[in-house]
Amino acid sequence: MDQKFMFSLLWPDYFEGKKMEDRIRSGDGKLYNQDFLERDMNVEMLLEGMEVKNESRPYVKARLMDMVLDEKIIKYRQDILQDFLDYPEIQQAFDLELMPLVINLNKMQKTNISHDDDIRKIAWRLEILRVYTQCVTILHRVFCSKDRDFTSEGLQRLQSIISSIVENEGYKELVRLLPDLHEKLQTMSGVTLGVNLDHELRPTEAVLLSIEPKPFRNKALLTSIFGTRRNDEMYHGIGTFYSILKDTTANALDQAIMRDLAYVMEDTFRHMAMVLNRFAWVETAFIFDLVPEVYYYIGGSNLARNLLEGGMPVCFPTPMPAEDRVFIVKDLYDASFAIRILSDTGIKALHNIIVTNNARMCDDPGRLLILTGANQGGKTTFTRAVGIAQILFQAGLPIPGTEGKISPVDNIYTHFPELEKNSISEGRLGEECVRLEGILPRLTKYSMILMNESLSSTSHQESLTIAEEIMKYLRTIGARGVFATHMHELAEDLNEINKQSALSNLVSLVAGVDEEQQMEVMTEEGIKTFRGSKRTYKIVESPPQGRSFALDIARTYGITFEQLLDSHKNRHELGVEEETPLPRRIV
């Protein structure tokens, strides 16, 4: 029986999928500026929401960033993830039962037995087969029980593979013979040695006296104190246990014991070796490949459930052809922000805190969204929400929202503010332009770009001039994306810019405010209420409002010119003592 299963839960075409994984692992297939993308999209927070804590986490993260272009692969994953959502008990079986066995199996597989004697190789192979059958038994119960009505192609294929293993005559024979083989090996749990000492009481010779069916143990404390007897007292030593093998290298005593065991039990070991050779076809790689893929879906299920339990919607958007170049999502929100609130506060009613928005990039009205509006009005959050939804969609996982239609992109390029660097040669604007020069020429009509307050390190007029050039370029090549900015003039001129023939049009979005509402702000003195423009965090298609309400924020925190003067005046009228000035140095 040949047991090499070319199957993957992530890739309908096993060979093409593994080839892609190998390219990414080698670095050839890594996304350009992937580190920036992961940082700007809070990917680590998404992984926290997926709650994959074991050895599969690096694999899950790598697959999350695959940016799959084929909508058929995306649909293949979506269908499997839906099955995992329908059967949450799969995770419990993997966490509590299968993973400890797989970890043990993996350690045994990595053990170097090339220098071991034949007896140890027999014991090693027997233990691997025993753990392997335990894993198969769990997999069969988890995926092939009668109540498992999977609808996805992937899990139906997995059911067929596991059933073919269990129903194979060779496997049935293995299950039947293993208990007897294991029992025979257990009759050699210990040996009794006779040791001769010289006149200085140094051990000089040793001889094998008997093979014991039970291991020797230290004498129990109560037995030593009260002198009570036990039925298996002959297996309890009178002294301290000493380690013979400090490492995996066999010493002279170990080799001698194995040589005598082989001589005494020659017929038994010969029989066991012959039996085990009949099961050389057993291949454990199938299990090692399957486990991280299963945890990929367990993680996706956890993320979706955490958001749903927080009162937020998730959905599987309809995969659209790459040529359509669309991103249409209803009730979109930043999943990383939601996970952070759940993690930091434990609040479950997120729908009372998080505001959802609609996002639309398509032929009409356009694919390049110029987002302006109030400071702290949700522009960055909306921009990040778009990127996270695109990542999750191409990973085949549920996205934050109630419904959607999305085309895959070849990459998501991000340009978010960075901490200031000590750059004498370029300065802040130079650093921004260097990054943009590395990004922009790489874009295609299948790319997405997310720019957050880009070009804010120079004068307003200079920023506007550069931004207009970039927007014309993005329109020409047909990219889609979001540019969150304070440059309202950029959005004011979009009708004129859109008159020029291009593959993408500009759309003006505004982060809304309610100028009639009061704002509550937490200060050192407690919650204070200020009259001003309350942020609604609703992103709407609208002409720019022409201001970012920066003065409103200053008023909220009491630092406008008038407020500072009043505060200064009140401080002196109340007789607040001035800080003692430093003494002047007399020169």
Residues 6+ away with beta carbon under 8 Å from 80: 9, 152, 154, 155, 297, 396
| Structural tokens at position 453 | 């307050």
- Residue 580 inside a domain? The answer is no
Residues 6+ away with beta carbon under 8 Å from 347: 310, 341, 353
CA distance 44 to 46: 5
Cβ–Cβ < 8 Å for 487, 511: no
Produce one character per residue of 554-571: b if its CB has 16 or more CB atoms within 10 Å, e if not.
Answer: bbbeeeeeeeeeeeeeee
Cβ–Cβ < 8 Å for 179, 111: no
**Domain limits for position 125:** 14-30+68-185+281-297
CA distance 381 to 335: 10
Q: What is the DSSP-derived secondary structure letter of residue 456?
A: T
pLDDT in tens, 519-555: 655 445 555 565 556 788 999 999 887 655 556 656 6
Is residue 180 domain-shared with residue 194, that is, in the same domain? no
Cβ–Cβ < 8 Å for 113, 80: no
CA 315, chain centre distance (Å): 19
Per-residue model confidence (pLDDT) at position 82: 97
Cβ–Cβ < 8 Å for 41, 339: no
- Residue 92 inside a domain? The answer is yes
Per-residue model confidence (pLDDT) at position 586: 46
The 3-state DSSP composition of the chain as helix, strand, coil percent (nearest 5) reads 50, 15, 35
Which residue type sits at 357?
N
Q: What is the DSSP-derived secondary structure letter of residue 235?
A: G
Instruction: Say how many domains are in the chain.
Output: 3
| Structural tokens at position 44 | 């680590």
CA distance 24 to 18: 10
Is residue 216 domain-shared with residue 364, that is, in the same domain? no
Output the domain CATH number for residue 398.
Answer: 3.40.50.300
Is residue 320 domain-shared with residue 446, that is, in the same domain? yes
CA distance 21 to 300: 19
| Structural tokens at position 238 | 């009178």
Is residue 349 domain-shared with residue 427, that is, in the same domain? yes
- At residue 210, the 3 state secondary structure works out as strand
Cβ–Cβ < 8 Å for 333, 358: no
Per-residue model confidence (pLDDT) at position 561: 73
Instruction: Give the max Cα distance, the chain.
Output: 107
Phi, psi angles (nearest 5°) of residue 480: -120, 155
Is residue 374 domain-shared with residue 502, that is, in the same domain? yes
- At residue 372, the 3 state secondary structure works out as strand
Is residue 252 domain-shared with residue 146, that is, in the same domain? no
Beta-bridge mates of residue 370: 483, 508
- Residue 486 inside a domain? The answer is yes
Per-residue model confidence (pLDDT) at position 221: 47
Q: What is the DSSP-derived secondary structure letter of residue 350?
A: G
| Structural tokens at position 524 | 């050192």
| Structural tokens at position 281 | 């076809």
Mean pLDDT score across all residues of the chain: 83
Burial (CB count within 10 angstroms: exposed 0-12, middle 13-18, buried 19+), residue 263: exposed
- Residue 488 inside a domain? The answer is yes
Phi, psi angles (nearest 5°) of residue 318: -70, 120
Q: Which long-range CB contacts under 8 A does 579-587 form with residues at least 24 apart?
A: none
- Residue 249 inside a domain? The answer is yes
Residues 6+ away with beta carbon under 8 Å from 109: 128, 284, 288
- Residue 452 inside a domain? The answer is yes
| Structural tokens at position 455 | 């070009």
CA 379, chain centre distance (Å): 26
Cβ–Cβ < 8 Å for 168, 1: yes
Is residue 470 domain-shared with residue 440, that is, in the same domain? yes
CA 583, chain centre distance (Å): 58
Is residue 160 domain-shared with residue 223, that is, in the same domain? no
Which residue type sits at 288?
F
Is residue 320 domain-shared with residue 421, that is, in the same domain? yes
- Residue 273 inside a domain? The answer is no
- List the chain residues with pLDDT less than 50: 1, 115, 221-228, 420, 422-425, 522-523, 584, 586-587
| Structural tokens at position 7 | 């199957």
- At residue 329, the 3 state secondary structure works out as strand
Query: What's the length of the chain?
Result: 587
CA distance 160 to 316: 26
- At residue 54, the 3 state secondary structure works out as coil
CA 463, chain centre distance (Å): 37
Q: What is the DSSP-derived secondary structure letter of residue 95?
A: I
pLDDT in tens, 59-78: 999 999 999 999 999 999 99
CA distance 353 to 114: 61
- Residue 288 inside a domain? The answer is yes
Per-residue model confidence (pLDDT) at position 400: 98
Is residue 368 domain-shared with residue 242, that is, in the same domain? no
Produce one character per residue of 302-329: b if its CB has 16 or more CB atoms within 10 Å, e if not.
Answer: bbbbbbeebebbbbbbebbebeebbbbb
Cα distances (angstroms) measured from residue 494 to each of 443, 488, 497, 548, 551: 21, 10, 5, 19, 26
Per-residue model confidence (pLDDT) at position 429: 72
Q: What is the DSSP-derived secondary structure letter of residue 529?
A: E
Is residue 227 domain-shared with residue 374, that is, in the same domain? no
